Chain A
């Protein structure tokens, strides 16, 4: 037949051995080839390539850790918590005022703040101070990441605000949730009661939940989906536990290590597809897969800080820890706390460490990486320096040996298989995940 190849914007094509005029017409019509005198096609192609680049500018997304203390001790939470009654693990007054001043100086009209922990509801007073300080922003969104083990009137009051929502962990069935998180049926029951109460009072839109999956013994797929669907949650982000500490895996993981996980994920996506097709009353999605899918067709889907290119650190989002230290990502905070590498990029009192950021950001792109430049998925993919550091202690492994690369190769491969599937159930779900009005994904689409 010929060989597969791709052009600079990542369009795939099969290069015919003996191309005929009809072949060429096809190639031109579908954007794989450009007639030499077609200036519009040339320029629109270049515009597309440029538009694929993320251009984060203003800092408008903060992850704040008002306290590191927590009222749970989850099995996989090694470093991001302190005991409930410990002292010195909350923002002090100096840190809190410095954050307030920083908020006053932000050059944005829209702010998104995520309160992480620890358990941030232990310090709702600090949470409220920050929220009150944000009145000046035209658009505000606050997410309180809480384990919902205790829900008091103060939190319920706060949730009356349209701009405040909660994010929680729901690991699956009651049994799994108890095993991984609460370690007690009674506490799990209390969590479930609290979750139900909030949903009954504010609707499922007020809460987002995500599971943390133990990669070595994931729950049965339908059991997990049911656990979410029963609450009215339609978007599920399948997230394996990321065991911190590259020391466990000093050697680059081979593909085999994660094959079971990819298989589980694929089964999960296929079950979502089948269930969506059977029950049209709602649409379930695996949200990270949906993100990958959207990036394959569309430009400008680059505010998702886990998947974009370039992915400069310390630019449009920032983590402020309980002690006022600044980190580029929450994972970077964990790495520092577990003593692996110091990725702190300054303090909220003294400001950003610009030189350190420059060093980090010189590598925050896939462009110029020989493996990435040869990859047809490059236009949709991204870069995650912190993940590389966390797993391998280095950022200079050949990309295709990294978990990040293998995960996305798997994701995009799955997407390509599904995009070219003739199964109506598949095309139905893809159309929903891509937000199309029509019942099915149009046939014979081209990856642009």
Chain B
């Protein structure tokens, strides 16, 4: 190819400026657009208006519609890239953030935790009872199996956690349940 001769022997003849270094050419190009486009008002030029962030609205990320995202040209596959005009379907659109509900619950009572759940089959109390039995069996608890988490039960939990090298919280943690073999 290079040995062929061309009617226009060089780009210079065609009106292009003589070759310059790549860096200089880039600099020229960028200074043109900077001069022409960023006025003194814009202290940070194009960086100010970057649109390259993902658009994130509830539930979906969507791109700006209408702009086509793949390249095209006219001389081939002309029908391929515009969606045929009438069938514009917007991108999956997000839901707005809901205004959150704050359902004001029952009258407030301070002090001891309320047993709002009540009723039979008090599962909470049953788990505490199981733990108390377990602590007894492991030799950490000598009180009554009440189903209530009193100071003595908490102290027993703390001792167990310390001895077994568990995280010391004084509460019924998954680790405690596993150690006492009460795990689900």
Inter-subunit contact A287/B79 (CB<8 Å): yes
Whether A414 sits at the interface, judged by CB under 8 Å, is no
Whether B95 sits at the interface, judged by CB under 8 Å, is no
Q: How far is the CB of B134 from chain A (nearest CB, A)?
A: 53
Whether B102 sits at the interface, judged by CB under 8 Å, is no
Residues of A within 8 A of B88 (CB): 435-437
Whether A110 sits at the interface, judged by CB under 8 Å, is yes
Whether B112 sits at the interface, judged by CB under 8 Å, is no
Residues of A within 8 A of B21 (CB): 355, 358
Task: State which of B44-52, B103-111, B125-133, B144-152 sits at the interface with chain A.
Answer: B44-52
Q: How far is the CB of A345 from chain B (nearest CB, A)?
A: 11
Residues of B within 8 A of A290 (CB): 82, 85
Residues of B within 8 A of A63 (CB): 76
Q: How far apart sit A390 and B43, CA to CA, in the bound complex (Å)?
A: 41
Q: How far apart sit A304 and B14, CA to CA, in the bound complex (Å)?
A: 25
Task: State which of B28-36, B113-121, B158-166, B168-176 sits at the interface with chain A.
Answer: B28-36
A116 touching B20 in the complex, CB below 8 Å, given contacts A303-B71, A361-B25, A435-B88 = no
Q: How far is the CB of A79 from chain B (nearest CB, A)?
A: 13
Residues of A within 8 A of B4 (CB): 339, 342
- 8 A Cβ contacts from A265-289 to B: 282-283, 285, 287-288
Inter-subunit contact A42/B41 (CB<8 Å): yes
Whether B78 sits at the interface, judged by CB under 8 Å, is yes
Across the interface, B19 reaches (CB within 8 A) one of A239, A299, A310, A355, namely A355
Task: State which of A10-18, A255-263, A362-370, A417-425 sits at the interface with chain B.
Answer: A362-370
Inter-subunit contact A46/B41 (CB<8 Å): yes
Residue of B nearest to A116 (CB): B76
Inter-subunit contact B16/A110 (CB<8 Å): no
Inter-subunit contact B75/A239 (CB<8 Å): yes
- 8 A Cβ contacts from A314-349 to B: 316-317, 323, 325, 329-331, 336, 339-342, 344
Residues of A within 8 A of B33 (CB): 53, 310, 365, 367
Task: State which of A67-75, A90-98, A124-132, A230-238 sits at the interface with chain B.
Answer: A230-238
Inter-subunit contact B73/A301 (CB<8 Å): no
Whether A171 sits at the interface, judged by CB under 8 Å, is no
Task: State which of A21-29, A147-155, A185-193, A393-401 sits at the interface with chain B.
Answer: A393-401
Inter-subunit contact A208/B80 (CB<8 Å): yes
Q: How far apart sit A143 and B70, CA to CA, in the bound complex (Å)?
A: 13
Residues of B within 8 A of A233 (CB): 79
Whether B17 sits at the interface, judged by CB under 8 Å, is yes
A234 touching B78 in the complex, CB below 8 Å, given contacts A341-B14, A358-B26 = no
Whether A183 sits at the interface, judged by CB under 8 Å, is no
Q: How far is the CB of A46 from chain B (nearest CB, A)?
A: 6
Residue of A nearest to B70 (CB): A112
Inter-subunit contact A50/B85 (CB<8 Å): no
- 8 A Cβ contacts from A89-143 to B: 110, 112, 114, 116, 139, 141, 143
Whether B83 sits at the interface, judged by CB under 8 Å, is yes
Across the interface, A247 reaches (CB within 8 A) one of B7, B36, B81, B84, namely B7
Q: Interface code B53-82, partner A: CB below 8 Å = 1, 0 otherwise?
A: 000000000001011111111111111111
Residues of A within 8 A of B83 (CB): 435
Residue of B nearest to A357 (CB): B22
Whether A408 sits at the interface, judged by CB under 8 Å, is no
Residue of B nearest to A285 (CB): B85
Residues of A within 8 A of B82 (CB): 235, 285, 287, 290-291
Inter-subunit contact A393/B71 (CB<8 Å): no
Whether B37 sits at the interface, judged by CB under 8 Å, is yes
A300 touching B66 in the complex, CB below 8 Å, given contacts A165-B80, A367-B36 = yes
Q: How far is the CB of B10 from chain A (nearest CB, A)?
A: 8
Residues of A within 8 A of B72 (CB): 303-305
- 8 A Cβ contacts from A414-440 to B: 432-437
Pairs of residues from A and B, 5 with the lowest C-beta to C-beta distance, nearest first: A396-B15, A208-B79, A237-B78, A435-B88, A300-B67
> Can you give 17 A-B contacts (C-beta < 8 A)?
A46-B38, A51-B49, A51-B51, A60-B70, A110-B70, A139-B70, A167-B78, A236-B78, A236-B79, A285-B82, A285-B85, A287-B74, A300-B64, A316-B71, A356-B11, A358-B22, A432-B86
Given contacts A303-B68, A356-B19, A435-B66, 16 further A-B contacts (CB under 8 A): A50-B45, A63-B76, A143-B76, A143-B77, A208-B80, A283-B86, A291-B74, A291-B82, A305-B72, A306-B73, A339-B6, A358-B21, A358-B25, A360-B16, A362-B16, A362-B17
